[in-house]
Amino acid sequence: MVDGVPIRTGLSATVELVVSEADTAIAFRSGDVPVLSTPRILALVEEAAVASLDGQLDEGSSTVGMRVQLEHISPTAVGGRVTAEATLEKVEGRRLLFHVSAKDERGLVAAGKVTRVVVDVERFLDKAR
């Protein structure tokens, strides 16, 4: 929410990544093949979700990840360019539900849903202490 105005559905953003050795399943220790790792795809689609909210939240607020449903459909080799997109589909109070996807030059790489929750940063950090 910004200045009392509710966050609206339809907000979206894209982010890009050129896959490097640091992005592979080997580097993330999530497998032993030198292709884009599932954890890195998840980070990329969450980055897009966060970017879609740029300028939409009140000062002192942020969002945190709550739930992820992600299907990793096809591999992307080192050197491949991946574009991740997040679109805000539903607002349920503080819960924000995004449709997310990632594509490379050959087509769809991953798709799913990400739920993020709007939090007051100070109160949230107090819980972590």
Residue 96 belongs to some domain of the structure = yes
Residue partners of 121: CB distance under 8 A and separation at least 6: 60, 61, 62
pLDDT computed for residue 3 by the predictor: 45
pLDDT computed for residue 59 by the predictor: 93
pLDDT confidence bin for 6, thresholds 50/70/90: confident
Domain CATH code at residue 113:
3.10.129.10
Residue 7 belongs to some domain of the structure = no
pLDDT computed for residue 129 by the predictor: 86
Residue 3 belongs to some domain of the structure = no
Residue 28 belongs to some domain of the structure = yes
pLDDT computed for residue 85 by the predictor: 98
pLDDT computed for residue 4 by the predictor: 57
Q: Is the pLDDT of residue 1 over 70?
A: no
Residue 55 belongs to some domain of the structure = yes
Q: Judge residue 127's burial from the number of C-beta atoms within 10 Å of its C-beta, 0-12 exposed, 13-18 middle, 19 or more buried.
A: exposed
Provide the whole-model pTM: 0.92
Domain of residue 23 covers: 12-128
Condensed to tens digits (0 to 9), the pLDDT of residues 49-89 reads 999 999 999 999 999 999 999 999 999 999 999 999 999 99
As a whole number of angstroms, the distance between CA 129 and CA 20 comes to 35
